[in-house]
Amino acid sequence: MCTSPLGTSMYCKASASRHGEAVGIIGPSGTGKSTILKVMAGLLAPDKGEVFICGKKRQGLVSDEDISGLRIGLVFQSAALFDSLNVRENVGFLLYENSKLSEERIGELVTETLAAVGLKGVEERMPSELSGGMKKRVALARSIINDDTKETIEPEALLYDEPTAGLDPIASTVVEDLIRSMHVTGKDAMGKPGKIASYAVVTHQHSTIRRAVDRLLFLHEGKIVWEGMTEEFTTSTNPIVQQFASG
């Protein structure tokens, strides 16, 4: 995926996410990181520039039907669960609303998907009964559940907005490992191969940078000022990157 939401030529030169990659988008607050995710997900249209998905230019928002067979999920920073719905209803929401599957089959898919993210027996709990880390995992399950009667041409792409924000170090590690396990190179909590072909993570957490991503894009004032592999991050000579890396 290549996005140019802020009209800068640098976004076109540096692809936000290439097929099969685990990409981190980092930088100071207010520089446009979350906005990029929303543009990539099709929730916002860019003011300038272009968005390409699998080599095809996307026009407008997510309602477009030009690019089929690829699901792009977005896991919001706050988890964004529906407070009045239980976990089963939250995770299966899109299937209940848009599929022809029976309630029994949707319930089975919800249970299978929750197990894949390491949660069992929580279907009837309300969001208020969940810890912060559990809410993140429920949000992830909601983003990856799908109608298994439909053919999927391409595996999914997933976008994470600050997935470990507000979590303690142990809960952060659980979520970071989960992000890795859902990638096609990993195995989920049930030992099955991950289904996420590519993902991008917006984060401020150094542990997430180290554990969950391979390539980094550093944004400053709406522009990519540095790009490199994760292991190159702490040795960058860019003064802005050095300041961020040193905390």
49-91 pLDDT per residue, tens: 888 777 777 776 765 555 555 678 888 888 889 999 999 999 9
Q: How much is the average pLDDT of 166-187? A: 86
**Rounded Cα–Cα distance for residues 47 and 223 (Å):** 15
**For residue 184, is pLDDT > 50?**
yes
**For residue 27, is pLDDT > 60?**
yes
Q: Is the pTM of this model over 0.75?
A: yes
User: Which two tokens mark 88?
Assistant: 């089963």
Q: What angle do CA 71, 73, 79 make, to 5 degrees?
A: 160
User: Which two tokens mark 209?
Assistant: 């940078």
Among 56-70, 106-120, 161-175, the minimum mean pLDDT is found in 56-70
Phi, psi of 186 (to 5 degrees): -115, -170
Burial class (CB in 10 A: 0-12, 13-18, 19+), 166: middle
For the chain, list the domains and their CATH numbers: 2-82+155-245 (3.40.50.300)
